[in-house]
Amino acid sequence: MTVRREADRPERRLAARLARGDESALREIERRDGPLLRGYLAQTLKDPGAAEEVQQQVLLELWQRRLQYDPARSSIASWAMMICRSRAIDYLRRNVPEPRDPQDDAIWRETVLAQESVADELAEQWRVAQLVSRLPHEEAELLRLRFQSELSQREIAARTGIPLGTVKMRMVSALGRLREMIEAEDAK
């Protein structure tokens, strides 16, 4: 079963506007995806000023690389997040206090690697959340209750009033769709 979402057409139109150099397309991307990028950067960099600076670099890079974007490979948000992650890691690597004790280099490298690991984890969580948002609402909500609220299927049935068998069927369906979307995105 191939999962297609209705938003693909507006997403492609937005990508086409961006490729044509329509500055309003970049503003729309900033309005739509900016809060997610900002949140990711704030968690990764732990510095609001740095997060704002890096977000501006990301937007500039989106504009400069707009002709390289391929809507068949990923959503604009995923592409922006990939660039965002790279710029965050670049910032962490550059942001080493001076003067630096050469003996502290090993500690610094471990710290940066740990921050990169956290950045990767946040990026993956964001990616899965974006894919879950593309599922039918009733399936997405069940997955959120199960994995974010950590409710059992029985507790979900009690909370929502949906029969337990239906909860189970919808979760199996949702997880299958989610797996297909992840595999399709990874294959690109």
Q: What is the DSSP string of 72-130?
A: TTS-HHHHHHHHHHHHHHHHHHH---SS--GGGHHHHHHHHHHHHHHHHHHHHHHHHHH
In CATH terms, 1-134 corresponds, of 1.10.1740.10, 3.20.20.80, 1.10.3720.10, 2.30.30.30, to: 1.10.1740.10
pTM value?
Answer: 0.57
Q: What is the CA radius of gyration of the chain?
A: 20
Q: Domain extents for the chain?
A: 1-134, 136-188
First-last CA distance in the chain: 17
Which CATH number describes the domain made up of 136-188?
1.10.10.10
Indicate the SS3 state at residue 162. coil
Quote the DSSP letter at residue 151: -
Which amino acid is located at 148 in the chain?
Q
Tens of pLDDT along the chain (188 residues) come to 333 443 468 888 999 999 999 999 999 999 998 988 888 888 888 889 999 999 999 999 999 999 999 887 788 988 898 899 889 888 887 876 665 565 555 555 666 666 667 667 777 777 787 788 888 999 999 998 998 888 999 999 999 999 999 999 999 999 999 898 888 877 76
